[in-house]
Structure 1
Amino acid sequence: YGRVKPDVVAYGREIMGSKISTGCKSLSGTSVASPVVAGVVCLLVSVLPESTRRDILNPASMKQALVEGAAKLSGPNMFEQGAGRLDL
């Protein structure tokens, strides 16, 4: 296939989240990591002027921004970390 996957890695282990009733609890997995990435994409979009968003925003440009902004991790190889850790 010729592509390295994952594209990037994100925080997704023992992330503190709110409980339905009260307090907090620790969460792990892609159910936590995916919203972290979505939040970063929203922040990236928010810094672009509204007048130019339509011209430059698309899924490929967002992926490119995430990949190019990733921070390499020293331990894992590229098949474990892709471009590296999500870095805002």
Structure 2
Amino acid sequence: MAELLSDGEIDAGLAERPGWRRSGDELSRTVESESFPAAIDLVRRVAEVAEELNHHPDIDIRWRKVTYRVTTHSAGGITQLDLDLVSKIDDLIAS
């Protein structure tokens, strides 16, 4: 099982990932795409990465805005798996 990160480790990880915020035991980011199809395409690409990592975000789609929420449910909080996933999501957003 993945180990929970300390508050300092989480803060340091978020400092490298602008746009993400911590809310309790999860990390979240809302992204607005240029169109609904573009938002869905990003979700599809995030889903592929999540499957590769076997670590899946909660995803809320509202027209062109998509909110990603990441936590390690099995550990009861934020782990390195979450920071790895948000980094990969950031790469997809940038591409």
What TM-score, normalized by structure 2, do the two folds share?
0.31
Q: Which has the higher contact order (CA 8 A, sep 6+)?
A: 1
From the two aligned structures, give the one with the greater strand fraction.
2
